[in-house]
A and B are shown apart, each in its own frame.
Chain A
């Protein structure tokens, strides 16, 4: 029994690590949907670009400044990834979505898929990132630093990942609920035209929303490449992107705390399928299929998600 509980708690710890990545990506989906009612399918690719920015910058720092892993390197990479992705998000909005703002919603949706393909294939070119998988050097000193609390292994890198995510979440929550810009965001989300009539610069708000959402994806990319350190390649953003989208729907799309909770739930669901699935004859690799099963169940049972409000269609 003790062993069982122990194993379960250990899986929860792993789930929170993976879930942090999903939560950060899901926020971007949900924020953009909140202000534009648009599913930004290129979001997973912004995350991918963030991972590459961090990886290339870390390599550059180690190669040219004879640096060794330290908190500073991590901070520089994180900030650079966030800035780079934020700008990328703003550019995408300006070039691809704004010209279609008044077009039927389907046009923007198809454009989003096009932007996603464009980014992936552009990054895949030999002169850009190239398609060979690469692994980031460690951003923090020490290779496999891990702490053991009551027999439960907590890796330093995953702890950093989780804490950094929490800090970003709290900051975002503060910005959205406690600042003028946040109030403008909520106003645009509530009613774009009315907000515009009240003197809110909706274009600026939308640009800001894209910046913040994409910066969070950039943070997720940096944390994945630098902390999880699995191999990255130009198409690797697709699957986490899809899962984070499911997380956003699960939490109620357009709802910011919902996206964060949805992300963590997705991470937990994934590790639980891997570790307990075989007992119910579910192969561990069904953890991918599970994301889609969750999507279907949510859409059937509670289409507004866990925290979403039902929207009355205006006629």
Chain B
């Protein structure tokens, strides 16, 4: 009897305990910090967690630097960060929270395009400037005139790899394996196919996988049968590792090509050496000898226990610095409020006017469509390292 009462109590207490733990882990509540508050949202946990955590390290680095120099307009800058777990619905929820509860002047995020696409309409509706550091899907900035990005877009990135396959690898035929649950992947695949075909190449197999896929044997054996010169896999690092291994075991021996979604150290854990000699396009190379880049890399390593900054960290850093520069340019608000509609509109104009900004990911100019115009680099995977191969400028890709 006593035991059964204990069991009953436990049955009620366990879920309650779990709920308490979960809400404690959510990093919510507490009064909003004073001064200038920048909102940030990203996948700090979840399937693409390194995207969010790397971006945040870049953001924090830029903020720390600015505050060490006395802040912006004489005020310290604070960041309010929410984890959206990489879930599009969550992204929308936390951004609404940032705007309505936390009084942020502008928002930075997300990496995955599907999540940015959910959050952008909220920012646009409330007229809060949003800068996505790394969402490359073309539709993101089309959500409205308050949405910006500091990276190139998929039509360009897909074109870069098509051009690289054609000119550097001398490929005549290509196969594509798309993650059909990601807008990012679909955008890249479409751009690759269009450019590769336009340049005279032929797409011999066009396969896809969904979110619940257990393995990729069936798709890859079809691709093997089509015998392409290269295989383009515009997925995220968490699946690409297993795809690489499976490709090698069903006998696909040609190089795999990918986009910036590959850029994570976790890729190597899943790939187990199978992606040796494969290539992917990226926003910057850590091997760039530019002193500005090397200074960034050195400081980042110092702050993060020797970890190398990936592209997401560099873009987070650049996006934050562009926003801080715009805040300085827009100046101190007359009424002291950084969240009034008038100030946000002024801030928006200041971001839109960004020209030749000297970022670690290259010179950034925001075009009329609020997209960054900048070159891409192609990296090769060699023994769990990313080696610089070439730089492709926007004007080199036929549109």
Residues in A whose Cβ lies below 8 Å from that of B239:
230-231
Give a binary string over A106-135; 1 marks a CB under 8 Å from any B CB, 0 the rest.
000000001000100110111000111111
Contact between B238 and A284 (Cβ–Cβ < 8 Å)?
no
* Bound: A124/B45 CA distance, A: 9
Residues in A whose Cβ lies below 8 Å from that of B213:
230, 287
- The one of B10, B219, B242 in contact with A229, judged by C-beta atoms closer than 8 angstroms, is B242
Report if B21 contacts A (CB, 8 A): yes
Q: Which residue of A lies closest to B216 (CB)?
A: A230
* Bound: A125/B18 CA distance, A: 9
- The one of B85, B207, B270 in contact with A135, judged by C-beta atoms closer than 8 angstroms, is B270
Q: Which residue of B lies closest to A111 (CB)?
A: B11
Report if A143 contacts B (CB, 8 A): yes
Report if B353 contacts A (CB, 8 A): no
Contact between B210 and A131 (Cβ–Cβ < 8 Å)?
no
Report the stretch among B64-72, B121-129, B248-256, B312-320 that lies at the interface: B248-256
**B162-187: which have CB < 8 Å to A?**
180-181
Q: Which residue of B lies closest to A119 (CB)?
A: B18
Report if A101 contacts B (CB, 8 A): no
Contact between A284 and B208 (Cβ–Cβ < 8 Å)?
yes
Q: Which residue of A lies closest to B273 (CB)?
A: A143
Contact between A271 and B217 (Cβ–Cβ < 8 Å)?
yes
Q: Shortest distance in angstroms between B252's beta carbon and chain A's nearest beta carbon?
A: 11
Report if B215 contacts A (CB, 8 A): yes
Report if B272 contacts A (CB, 8 A): yes
Residues in B whose Cβ lies below 8 Å from that of A153:
221, 249-251
Contact between B210 and A288 (Cβ–Cβ < 8 Å)?
yes
Contacts A10-B221, A131-B45; A284 near B209 (Cβ below 8 A): yes
The SS class assigned to the A binding surface is helix
Q: Shortest distance in angstroms between B353's beta carbon and chain A's nearest beta carbon?
A: 38
Residues in B whose Cβ lies below 8 Å from that of A121:
18, 22
Contact between A284 and B207 (Cβ–Cβ < 8 Å)?
yes
Contact between A275 and B222 (Cβ–Cβ < 8 Å)?
yes
Report if A257 contacts B (CB, 8 A): no
Report if A224 contacts B (CB, 8 A): yes
Contact between A283 and B208 (Cβ–Cβ < 8 Å)?
yes
Give a binary string over A270-305; 1 marks a CB under 8 Å from any B CB, 0 the rest.
110011000000011101100000000000000000
Report if B25 contacts A (CB, 8 A): yes
Contact between B7 and A99 (Cβ–Cβ < 8 Å)?
yes
Q: Shortest distance in angstroms between B284's beta carbon and chain A's nearest beta carbon?
A: 24
Q: Shortest distance in angstroms between B231's beta carbon and chain A's nearest beta carbon?
A: 15
Q: How many of B's residues come within 8 Å of A, CB to CB?
A: 48
Contact between A231 and B249 (Cβ–Cβ < 8 Å)?
no
Contacts A231-B270, A275-B222; A18 near B18 (Cβ below 8 A): no
Report if B132 contacts A (CB, 8 A): no
- The one of A124, A135, A274, A284 in contact with B269, judged by C-beta atoms closer than 8 angstroms, is A135
Report if B14 contacts A (CB, 8 A): yes
Residues in A whose Cβ lies below 8 Å from that of B214:
18, 21, 224, 228, 230, 240
Contacts A11-B218, A271-B217; A285 near B18 (Cβ below 8 A): no
Interface of B toward A, CB cutoff 8 Å: 7-8, 10-11, 14-15, 18, 21-22, 25, 45-47, 49-50, 85, 180-181, 207-215, 217-219, 221-222, 225, 238-239, 241-242, 245, 248-251, 266, 269-270, 272-274
- Rank and list the top 6 A-B pairs by shortest CB-CB distance, nearest first: A239-B212, A131-B45, A274-B218, A285-B210, A14-B217, A135-B270
Interface of A toward B, CB cutoff 8 Å: 3, 7, 10-11, 14-15, 17-18, 21, 94-96, 99, 114, 118, 121-122, 124-126, 130-135, 138, 143-144, 146, 153, 155, 224, 228-231, 233, 238-240, 243, 270-271, 274-275, 283-285, 287-288
Beyond A114-B15, A132-B49: 15 further Cβ-contacts under 8 Å?
Answer: A11-B221, A14-B215, A14-B217, A96-B11, A122-B18, A124-B85, A131-B47, A131-B85, A134-B269, A135-B270, A233-B47, A240-B212, A275-B219, A285-B180, A287-B210
